[in-house]
Amino acid sequence: MWLEILKEKLSAVWEFFWWFLFGTFLEKRVAAIRKEAWDTNDNVMLLLFGDYLGLPNPISYYTLELLPYLAEEMLPWQRRIMNRQSVVAEKAAQYDFT
Amino acid sequence: MGDQKGNREGKPPFIFFGGKGGTGKTTCSAAYAARLAKEGRKTLLVSTDPAHSLSDIVGTALSDKILPIRENLWGIEIDAAKEAKRYIAEIQDKMLAIVSPAIVEEIKRQMEIAYLSPGSEEAATFDKFVELMDELGNPYEAIVFDTAPTGHTLRLLSLPEILGTWIESLIAKRRKSLELFKMAGRFEKDLMKRAMEDPVIESLTRRQKRFEKSRTYLTDPKSSAFFFVLNAERMPILETERAIELLEKFGIPIGGVVVNRVIPPEAGDFFAARLAAQEEYLQDIRRRFGAKKIVHLPLLRSDVQGMEQVDAVAALMGDIMGEIDEAE
Ligand SMILES: Nc1ncnc2c1ncn2[C@@H]1O[C@H](COP(=O)(O)OP(=O)(O)OP(=O)(O)O)[C@@H](O)[C@H]1O
Ligand SMILES: [Mg+2]
C-alpha cells in the first residue's frame, strides 16, 4: 500500500519536473513540431482535395467519402492555403536565409 | 491444361468483352453468357453501355436491378450516373449526422465539383463491378461484363493499379502528420485526441484493401479473362494491339480476340475485292495476336435480336475459353 502512495507521490514530482523542463527547454521544440504537424496535415489535405483549387486529383471521387470527417477542417484549411503567398515562400521562411 | 477443356472449373468466372464502339461487344458478351448458362453455370450478364443495347439484343427489358433472362441467366444494366448519385447522397447523409448543417451547406458546392469530375462515373462503374464480383457464388458462378468502348474500359481497369499507389502514399503522409501531432500532443490533450482515433486512415485503408482485392480479381488468370472484339480493318487492329499491350502491362490476362463480321467466302463476286483486303487483315491479325486465341465470327444477314439469334451466334463463336486450353 505505502508503495503505491510513494509511487503516486513520485510521479507527481516527476510530472512537476517534466512541466518545468517543458516550460524552459522544450517549448520551442514542441512549437516547431506542432508547426510541422500542421504543415504536413495541410499537404495531406491538398492531396485529398486539391481539385477544389484546380489541381488534378485522380481519386477525387473516392476522397469525397472523407469529407464527413474532414469537413470541419476544410474551410480553415482553404483559408490557410489562400493566405499563403506561395508554398515556396513559406518553406523559404522556415529556413531563415538572413 | 487440356484436361480442363469444357470443364466449368477450368474457366475463369469473370469474363470481360471490350473493343471499339460498334464492333460487337454486346453481342459477343450475350452469346458467351448464353453459352455458359446452357452449360449449367448460373451466369450474370453485366452491361455498362449507357445506350442500353443489351435489352434489345437479349429481348428482355433490363434495368439497374438484376433480372432473369432465361434459365441460369440474369442480366443487369449498370447506370453509372445513378450509382454516383447514390454514393454522394450517402456521404451527404453521413455528413449531416457528423457535421453542423452550416458547414455542410458551405461544402455542398465542392461535392458537386467532385461529382462532375471526369473520373466519377468510371469510379462508380468500377465500384459496382467490384460489388458484383464480391457476390460471386451467391448465386452467380460466372459474370460476363460487356464493357464500354476501349479507352473508357482501359481507364476503368487501370484504376486499382494507379489509385492503389496514390492511396498508399496518402496513408503514409497522413500517418506522418498524425505522428507529429502525437509528438506535439504529448503536452496538449486535444492534439493527442486527434492523433489517436483517425477515421480518415481507416477509410483510406478500407479503400486500399478494396483496390488490392479487385487487382487480385483482375490479374489472376484463374479468375479473369479479357476478350477483345474487333473488325478486320487496319485501325481497329492497331488499336487492339495497343490496348492489349496496356492491359498486359497492368497484368490483366487476355483471353483472346474475336474477329467479328468476317465476310464468308461464299459471299459472291460483289465482295471479291473486300474479301481480298480482308484476307490480308486476317493474316495481319494472326501475325500480331497469334499467341492468343483468335475466333472468327461471320458477318450475319441481319442484326442480332432475341435469344434465339444470340444462341446462333454462340454456336458460331465456338467455345472460346475451351479452345484456349487446347492451344496451350
Ligand atoms: N456478326 C455480325 N453480323 C451482323 N450484325 C452484327 C454482327 N455482330 C454484331 N452485329 C450487329 O451490329 C450492331 C452492333 O453490335 P453490338 O451492339 O454488339 O456492338 P457493341 O460493340 O456492343 O457496340 P457499342 O460500342 O455501341 O456498345 C448490333 O446491331 C448487332 O446486332
Ligand atoms: Mg454495346
Q: Give the atom of ligand 1 at the shortest distance from the alpha carbon of B149.
A: 25
Asked if residue B39 has pLDDT above 80, the reply is yes
Cβ B103–A75 below 8 Å, yes or no? yes
Q: Give the atom of ligand 1 at the shortest distance from the alpha carbon of B29.
A: 18
Residues 6+ apart with CB under 8 A from A59: B119, B123, B163, B166, B167
> Whose alpha carbon is nearest atom 30 of ligand 1?
B303
Average pLDDT for B286-307: 92
Average pLDDT for B306-319: 91
* Chain B, window 104-133: residues with a beta carbon less than 8 angstroms from a chain A beta carbon: 104, 106-107, 110-111, 113-115, 117, 119-120, 123-124
Residues 6+ apart with CB under 8 A from B246: B154, B158
**d(C-alpha B311, C-alpha B309), whole Å:** 5
**This prediction's pTM:** 0.83
Say if A41 is an interface residue toward chain B (CB within 8 Å). yes
Q: Which of B105, B183, B188, B194 to mutate to test the interface with A (most CBs of A within 10 A)?
A: B183
pLDDT for the residue numbered B45: 97
**pLDDT tier at B322, thresholds 50, 70, 90:** low
**pLDDT tier at A28, thresholds 50, 70, 90:** confident
User: Do residues B62 and B76 lie in contact, with contact meaning Cβ atoms separated by under 8 Å?
Assistant: yes
Mean per-residue pLDDT over chain A, rounded: 77
Note the pLDDT tens digit of each residue in B78-99.
998 899 989 988 998 888 888 8
CB contacts of B180 in chain A (<8 Å) are 33-34, 36-37, 40
User: Do residues B257 and B240 lie in contact, with contact meaning Cβ atoms separated by under 8 Å?
Assistant: yes
Say if A47 is an interface residue toward chain B (CB within 8 Å). yes
**d(C-alpha A58, C-alpha A51), whole Å:** 9
Cβ B98–A33 below 8 Å, yes or no? no
* Residue B258 beta carbon below 6 angstroms from any ligand 1 atom: no
Asked if residue A89 has pLDDT above 60, the reply is no
Note the pLDDT tens digit of each residue in B242-254.
999 989 988 999 9
**pLDDT tier at B324, thresholds 50, 70, 90:** very low
CB contacts of A51 in chain B (<8 Å) are 113-114, 117
**pLDDT tier at B150, thresholds 50, 70, 90:** low
Tell me the three state secondary structure of residue A22: helix
Asked if residue B31 has pLDDT above 90, the reply is yes
User: Do residues B263 and B301 lie in contact, with contact meaning Cβ atoms separated by under 8 Å?
Assistant: no
For residues B114 and B286, the model is more confident at B286
Q: Give the atom of ligand 1 at the shortest distance from the alpha carbon of B28.
A: 18
In the structure grid, which three cell numbers stand for residue B164, read together?
492503389
Between A50-54, B132-136, B184-188, B222-226, the lowest mean confidence (pLDDT) is in B184-188
How far, in Å, is the centroid of ligand 2 from the Cα of B148?
Answer: 7
